[in-house]
Amino acid sequence: MSVTMEKIVSLCKRRGFIFQSSEIYGKLNACYDYGPMGVELKRNVKEAWWRAMVYEHENIVGLDAAILMHPRVWEASGHVAGFTDPLVDCRQCKMRFREDEIDPKKLENKQCPNCGTKDALTDARQFNLMFKTHMGAVEEEASLVYLRPETAQGIYVNYKNVMDSSRQKIPFGIAQIGKAFRNEITPGNFLFRTREFEQMEMQYFVTPGDDEEVFETWKASRMAWYDTIGIRKEKLRFHEHGKDELAHYAKKAFDIQYEYPIGWKELEGIHNRTDFDLSRHQEYSGKDLTYFNDATRERYIPFIIETSAGVDRTLLTVLVDAYEEEKLEKDTRTVMHIDPKLAPVKAAVFPLVNRDGMPEIAHKITDDLKKTIMVFYDDSGAVGRRYRRQDEAGTPYCITVDSQTLEDETVTIRDRDSMEQERVPVSGLIAELNKRIWK
């Protein structure tokens, strides 16, 4: 049975991955809250990205810039003038649409895609996607600030600070994970397009002329990363932006797309942003943002190769890719084949029955394991049902204390994907789990 977005939404709620924001007040559209399982999965996604981008590259360092930035930043970046979508309204049903998402035939007749009324759509007007707010006590034009629509700009305005303080030389990169906000006209499809989300962005500063080769390297490297977090290769592909799709800052852009239940869609963007950003910030700030190469005695504004992934969209991809309704001999089980590295809970520990000293041993094992990995103790219900609950939550290993444990100090480890069980000594449990999780 194929995965649908509805099945993912339902499992996420049932198992405590993701809830609708402010649900008891009738929800806030396109905003989501991460529950106990979701928050762990999200942390693990970010950790895997940070490890691959920062810890594994000597010339990439991290940054955590403020969400609120000087309003001139967004003038320089082009967002005040150009970060817009064409908005049309239906005079009949009052729904709003992005003009570029309406079927061309309907658009020709100004027919509403929702209520079907002809001649009902207004002309398009450009709608800026940035959220505005005011800083300080007085709400006046001078106090206007924006919630950042991308994390990238925090990196550009800090490039000299970071380079000088961390003694980097070009080529080098700055990585950042953080919240971004966009007042999307048509959010939807669960986590796919929300109004508040997180990005994992890396900006790589290079000598002009080296940009095209570096672009290709990062393109390949980012695709390879999805394999390391267990996403099926056949569900991923590149999509090159045509001239009409390219963002105002980009010379070349490729999306990594995933085949979601809603079709092939962008998961991450890799962009050659040229010297656009730093040139603009130099112009608007009046500060020298050139780089001087001691060896070649050349001075230039670096080019930037950007890799930009959404945390929430990656998480959605992990969930969709992991979901399986597996037909067994007697019934069907829902199992989330989440890569053990990312799984919220690494191991669940069960006493087979709540007597004969089994709970005490199981508690002791839990206490030992929780010093290094996220574990969950469960003693309620039949052991088969406990396994199924963990399958749905994506827990890769279940450890059961049974009557044989009392005799020889061994336990069973049950593998989520194969459902096979193996007996291992309690003394070697942590080593065995670590071997399997971080393989």
Nearest distance in Å: CB 194, ligand GAP: 4
Choice between 159 and 350, CB closer to ligand GAP: 159
Choice between 199 and 366, CB closer to ligand GAP: 199
- Position closest to ligand GAP via CB: 310
Nearest distance in Å: CB 182, ligand GAP: 5
Query: 425 CB contacts (<8 Å, ≥6 apart)?
Result: 408, 409, 410
Q: Would the CA dihedral through 137, 141, 145, 147 be positive or negative?
A: positive
Question: x/- binding map, residues 189-218, to ligand GAP, per CB under 6 A?
Answer: ----xx--x-x-x-----------------
Count of residues that bind ligand GAP according to CB under 6 A: 19
Query: 39 CB contacts (<8 Å, ≥6 apart)?
Result: none
Q: Which of 93, 258, 108, 110 is nearest to 192 (CA)?
A: 258
Nearest distance in Å: CB 168, ligand GAP: 21
Task: Copy the structure tokens of residue 437.
Answer: 């999780």
Nearest distance in Å: CB 250, ligand GAP: 9
Among 47, 266, 379, 432, binds ligand GAP (CB under 6 A): 266
Nearest distance in Å: CB 145, ligand GAP: 19
Nearest distance in Å: CB 311, ligand GAP: 8
Q: Which of 207, 204, 209 is nearest to 172 (CA)?
A: 204
Question: Is there binding between residue 98 and ligand GAP (CB under 6 A)?
Answer: no
Question: Is there binding between residue 272 and ligand GAP (CB under 6 A)?
Answer: no
Query: 371 CB contacts (<8 Å, ≥6 apart)?
Result: none
Among 269, 302, 340, 396, binds ligand GAP (CB under 6 A): 269
Question: What one-letter code names the amino acid at 296?
Answer: T
Question: x/- binding map, residues 307-346, to ligand GAP, per CB under 6 A?
Answer: -xxx-xx---------------------------------
- CA-to-CA distance for 172 and 1, rounded, in angstroms? 46
**Rg of the chain over CA atoms, in angstroms?**
25
Query: 392 CB contacts (<8 Å, ≥6 apart)?
Result: 11, 14, 15, 334, 335, 336
Question: Is there binding between residue 150 and ligand GAP (CB under 6 A)?
Answer: yes
- Say if strands 397-401 and 347-351 run parallel, antiparallel, or are unpaired: parallel
Q: Please, which of residues 287-306 interact with ligand GAP by CB under 6 A? A: 306
Find where tokens 């550009």 sit: 156
Question: What one-letter code names the amino acid at 369?
Answer: L
- CA-to-CA distance for 112 and 132, rounded, in angstroms? 29
The number of residues making up the chain comes to 439
Nearest distance in Å: CB 331, ligand GAP: 36
Choice between 111 and 308, CB closer to ligand GAP: 308
* Site for ligand GAP, rule CB under 6 A: 150, 152, 182, 184, 193-194, 197, 199, 201, 266-269, 306, 308-310, 312-313
